Amino acid sequence: MKNKLKIAAGIFTVVFCILLGCGGRGAGRESLLLPVEGASTMENGGSGGSGGTSPKEAGAALAQPLNLGRILLAEDNELNQEIAQAILEEAGFTVEIAENGQIALDMLTRAEPDYYQLVLMDVQMPVMTGYEATRAIRSLENPALASVPILAMTANAFEEDKQAALKCGMNGHISKPIDISKLMESLEHVLRKR
């Protein structure tokens, strides 16, 4: 676990919530928030570095589960999958993972309309990129499946990357490293429109 945290620290700004006491959601729950900015933060038991989501903001985002249903996470990197899944499940979502764009397209095509409330789509994946998968989803015959909200979730954070995501049919763009507050804000914004 310690090695995974060291690796994760270099990839994402992550806030881990360690439950003390009753261990469940709701009254009586106490949380110790540890922002992970670098491996030394976790090794020294410190409270974090600078930038990213503050512990207070992340705690507020995580303390109020959205419980808005099922998200299809299209991500090829296993560690990124684990981190995103942990964040989303803590917020109350159910998460299913597709390792590339083709698998995401296949999973969505086999699903009933509204089975997935949203797709979080990495852009750079093997077999089929996130852009290709989004264009294929938008061209599906079933309008309910074709209109599922899709958010790009990628390290490509320049304005032209955001515009490319919108141009191919995505509903928005979330930059990596993940800022938990911004992720929750984006999810709520897109899902509220639905």
Which carries the bigger pLDDT value, residue 3 or residue 114? Answer: 114
**Would the pTM of this model clear 0.85, i.e. be above it?**
no
In this structure, of 12-16, 88-92, 141-145, 189-193, the range with the lowest mean pLDDT score is 12-16
Domain with CATH 3.40.50.2300 in the chain: 70-193
Distances (CA, A) of 116 to 26, 93, 146, 161: 26, 11, 12, 25
Inter-residue contact 140 to 169 (CB < 8 Å): no
| CATH number for domain 70-193, candidates 3.30.70.260, 3.40.50.2300, 3.40.630.10, 3.30.70.20 | 3.40.50.2300
